[in-house]
Amino acid sequence: MKIIRLCLLILFSQILYTSCSKKTIEGDLVITNVNVIDVEKGMTNSYQTVAIKKGQIVSISKHSSSDNINSDSIIDGSGKFLMPALWDMHVHYTTSEEHKGFLNLFITNGVLGVRDLWGNLKSRDYIDSTNVLAPEIYLSGAIIDGPFTLLNGSLQPRNKEEAIILVDSLHKAGADFIKVYDDLSQDIYSAIAKRCKELDMPFVGHVPLSVKATKASEMGQKSMEHLNGIWKSSTNDVAEIDSLETAFKSHFLSNDIESAIKTFTNINSKFNSEFNKETVVKLAKKLKENKTYVTPTLITIDRNWSRIDGTYKNQDNNKYVPESLLQEWDPELNFPSKMYPVETWNIGKELLNTSLKITKILHDNGVPILAGTDCGVAYVIPGFSLHDELELFTKAGLSNSDALKTATINPAMYFNLEHNSGKVAIAMNANLLLLDKNPLLDISNTQTISGIIKDGEYLNRKKLDELLENAIYKN
């Protein structure tokens, strides 16, 4: 009798345990038995079930075969890896009709958020008001520059008053931020910085030649694009660089292209030869103190200066680029690069190594780094190039998890979106990548995309391949 009672007790306990452990999981989309990438901690949480409802993650729990899943869309994540979608924080051409295929390239590469630093504000309204599949776009509108500019269509205020009017007009037109450029004078730059602060509107861009990087940081420039101003600040003799830059402008304006190229080459040579680690560390501490972000765009430096070798001229991804742009990139056709001597190209290539060193120093000293590509220039293909930028970060010495942060957590912090973006966690927006391989082991695994979740909707590999096919230009 005692044995029967004991058996009944064990059986009842098992039934009770099974009923208690059996979970009901509900969602519009449920991913089962997946490995979740914790980018912040640099670790993987295995065998998880992630439920998504109305575009948000509503639950994450340990996978169990006994789970009762109530969903119209269930994805088996066995052996796969789930991570936050990527941001490219320096792009172009998202609002250009001629380059509309670029939107597909962002989506298919898992880049579901971008910051366009020169685009048409009205065109973005069209994207927002239609069903065009596109990343989330933050946009500056037109660039504000000085009288010596190589950019057609940039705004060129003649004084502080005109600069303030331009900032106000861009703000009213719906620009998310202001972009400043190389040739702004100190007083006009200061007026822009002051007005942006009054409007609570970020301003970003190049560090103007007339302004030191430390001063730009102190005045509230939220992000520094490329490393131009930082290159100069990392040398032993900033005054000499200033003098050379003035000479370059003079040569160019007088149409003395040969002298302009020689001076330009000399400037880059000094960036390489006079690089001073202690100076960069000192600058980095100031940038960290002022919460200034840096977007190194290493891939642009790499592609721009290595294109003379012809390495990228025949790359397969060029099929996604219109012929007009390919011709613009060709060093044998492009002015003034077709006039560069071999020395200029070699010094430019070395500039990448200098930039890798600077990026590592900035990162090690707490400067928030943003992944951005400047896509649309020098064989930098939208979407694909973001993965290349992450690889260059690891080449600079960042860990795989820290490289991932530059395209996930750091952009969320930049936009003050930490509460709903940049992580795989409950209450976060469901913008996610489903990968075949673990990017924490090899950063190139961000390219092993099995599927993408955009705003809670699942795009499988077949759909992504269709988008890629539609993005091919019939040149």
Q: Are residues 111 and 176 in the same domain?
A: yes
Average per-residue pLDDT for the chain:
93
Instruction: Mark whether 113 and 143 lie in a shared domain.
Output: yes
Give pLDDT, residue 15. Answer: 42
Is 52 within a domain? yes
Residues 142-189 have pLDDT tens digits of: 999 999 887 888 999 999 999 999 999 999 999 999 999 999 999 999
Category of 374 on φ-ψ map: left (φ > 0), alpha (ψ -120 to 50) or beta: left
> What are the DSSP E strand ranges found in 207-344?
223-225, 293-295
Are 355 and 214 within one domain?
yes
- Specify if 427 maps to a domain: yes
- Residue 148 domain flag: yes
Q: Do 80 and 110 sit in the same domain of this protein? A: no
Are residue 248 and residue 375 in the same domain, yes or no? Answer: yes
Q: Give the pLDDT score at 5.
A: 58
CA–CA distance, 26 with 323 (Å, rounded to integer): 49
Find the domain containing 36 and state its range.
22-85+422-464
Question: pLDDT digit string (tens) for 314-341?
Answer: 899 999 999 999 998 998 888 788 899 9
The answer to whether position 334 is within a domain reads: yes
How many structural domains are present in the chain?
Answer: 2
pLDDT of residue 475: 62
Domain assignment of residue 3, yes or no? no
48 sits in which H/E element: strand 43-53
Q: What is the pTM of this model?
A: 0.94
Does residue 40 share a domain with residue 98?
A: no
**Bridge partners for 57 per DSSP:** 52
11 in a domain, yes or no? no
Of the candidates 449, 448, 450, 445, the residue with the CA atom closest to the CA atom of residue 394 = 445
359 contacts 369 by C-beta, under 8 angstroms: yes
pLDDT at 309: 87
The residue among 403, 420, 437 that closes a domain is 420
**Same domain? 237 vs 362:** yes
Query: Does an H or E element contain 354, and which?
Result: helix 342-364
Q: SS3 of 270, please?
A: helix
In a domain, 151, yes or no: yes
Query: Domain holding 426: CATH number?
Result: 2.30.40.10
Cα 146 to Cα 30, 159, 189, 317: the distances in Å are: 53, 10, 10, 35
Radius of gyration for the alpha carbons in the chain, expressed in angstroms and rounded: 25
Which residues in the chain come in under a pLDDT of 70? 1-21, 475
The predicted pLDDT at position 14 comes to 47
The domain that holds 261 is classified in CATH as: 3.20.20.140
Whether residues 387 and 444 share a domain: the answer is no
With respect to residue 475, please indicate whether it lies within any of the assigned structural domains: no
